[in-house]
Amino acid sequence: MRQAYKLLDTNIDRWLSTVKSENELLQNGEYSKIVAAAKAFVRNEQIANAVKVTAETYCGNITPDKGHAVSKKAFNEWAKHAGLRSGESLGELNTELVGILTWGDCLIVLDRTPYAPAGTISARVKLIDPLCVQTPPKYRNKGLVSGMKVILGVVFDVNDIEIGYFVLKAGLDGSKDEHYQYIPCYDDKTGRFVSALVCRPGSRFPGQARGFPMLLAALFSINAIDKLSEFTVREANVKSMLGIVVTTDSVNAPPALGVGDEVFKLNPEPKEGEEGKTNEDKPKVNISQLESGDVPVLPPNTDIKTINNGGNLDISSGIKEQLKLVAAGMGIPYHILLKDFTGINFSAGKLEIDALFRLFDLWNYGPIMRVFSEIYKWVVIEWWLLRGVIPVPAMWENDWIGPGAPDPDPLKSAHAESVRLSTGTVARSSLAGKRGDDYEQTLQQIKDDGEAEKRTLGRSFAIGWAAEKSATIGSSKDDVEEDE
């Protein structure tokens, strides 16, 4: 971990001097070092890993919604084993993608498996480490070469449009052009989607080829937290020790009692060249070198005084302040990052959860939805073609819904939803989507439940709708005021 700190300290000043040209940093190779440092922080630092886990937990997985019913069913079945390497589900890949976006960008490839059974969808998804997307020697620090310009592994055409990527093959050092594989964004012959580089929203400036890590703004604060933690351990060790001062008026006292490089034992053997000296001429004990079980013999008139290692550097307050800076630098509410909601009321908790989901909605309904829509489209097209049907756009067009936000007080939220429904300011499908549910599936489930109740019980229970009149929150005397 210290190597990562050293790497960061060595290169960050150089990075600051090159930001005047967005791609100068990338061409100088500093970007890879920054991403590698961020990746090392995620692997080794608790706070950095907490950011990754928070994103994976709350960003969740998006699922297709309001599309062709048969196509959705086929896609959902394929999604159970969508991974190319080990058959991971699309949900697992989505979680892995979100985790990667906290420390870099990620290349998503829609490949094909040669092991798919006949008559089944062969398309599979593969995620490629951002550090593997590199520029071959032929294109480094150059302009257009053979009609292509390559910046940090991203290929642009003569119109400065992103058309593909170079990926370093496993087990090779990248010193030769043949060590790299070119992966286009779309297949030249069929127009099929092949790959896309997913960058966190807001991680790139205009004209920048790659996105900077989410952790970049907080690396210095994380470094400070690590140093403060070291000081905390040192302080605890010092306080656990008992300081001793020995004073004596005896003329027979050993010189520099408790100090010195030699270990003086009781009646030691004479050293070479000291055969003429007697044991009486030597110090009897060195207190600084006492071992467990030793019983020292001290001269007369010796006094032992202890030193209480008191005081408090209040390092915990410094760590807390640095954690707040980390949370603010990445836009993640402080209490959610630490998973500690003690001392906050309903309104504050609601605002923090809302802020977090607004951030992750930019991820879900931005780059992730854009790439997953392409995957959905070509998986559905392949499924229909396998059945001898030429699909039309209506068969692959769909919307996506993300996970619902956790609710600190479901009763208050339900009352607010009831008011909005009764006033016609929100649609029922919007409320279902906000919870991460497919409204059509919800209605179908209600219908199925009613039929099952009628078959079993001879009656079905009424579906509850919003009341025509709803009291305003806070108008009742029974309402409990929020805790401050």
- pLDDT score at 344: 81
| Contacts (Cβ under 8 Å, ≥6 apart) of 19 | 25
pLDDT digits (tens, 9 = 90+) for 53-98: 999 988 888 888 878 989 999 999 999 999 998 889 999 999 999 9
**DSSP H helices in 88-134:** 90-101
Mean pLDDT of the chain: 78
Distances in Å between the Cα of 73 and the Cα atoms of 63, 66, 383 are 12, 12, 11
What ranges make up the beta strands (E) of 130-275?
A: 149-151, 154-156, 162-168, 180-184, 195-198, 243-248
Across the range 90-113, mean pLDDT stands at 94
User: How many C-beta atoms surround the C-beta of residue 465 within 10 A?
Assistant: 10
Residue 211's contacts (CB-CB under 8 Å, 6 or more residues apart) are: 104, 105, 199, 200, 203, 204
Q: In the chain, count of helices (H) and strands (E)?
A: 15, 11
Q: Name the more confident of 282 and 35.
A: 35
Q: Are 373 and 400 in contact, with CB atoms under 8 Å apart?
A: yes
* Strand ranges in 286-421 using DSSP code E only, listed in sequence order: 302-307, 399-401
Look-up: residue for tokens 């970049």?
216
Express as a percent the part of the chain with pLDDT over 90.
30
Long-range pairs of 472-478 with CB within 8 A, sequence gap ≥ 24: 472/419, 473/412, 473/415, 473/416
- Each residue of 420-465: pLDDT tens digit? 888 888 888 777 776 667 777 778 878 888 888 888 888 777 765 5
**Residue 353, CB half-sphere, CA atoms under 13 Å: how many?**
19
CB of 174 closer than 8 Å to CB of 134: yes
Q: In which band, very low, low, confident or very high, does the pLDDT at 296 lie, cut at 50, 70 and 90?
A: low
The amino acid occupying position 245 is: V
Q: What six digits make up the tokens of 350? A: 């609601």
State pLDDT tens for residues 216-245. 777 777 777 777 777 777 777 766 666 677
Q: Are 340 and 323 in contact (CB under 8 A)?
A: no
Mean local confidence (pLDDT), 19-46: 68
| Secondary structure (DSSP) of 246-264 | EEE--TTSPTTTT-SSS--
At residue 21, the pLDDT reads 47
The three-state secondary structure class of 368 is: helix
DSSP string computed for 400-459: EE-PPPP-S-HHHHHHHHHHHHHHT-S-HHHHHHHTT--HHHHHHHHHHHHHHHHHHHS-
Q: Cα separations (Å) of 427 from 169, 322, 430, 439? A: 50, 43, 5, 10
What's the pTM value of the predicted model, to 2 decimals? 0.71
Task: Report pLDDT for 183.
Answer: 97
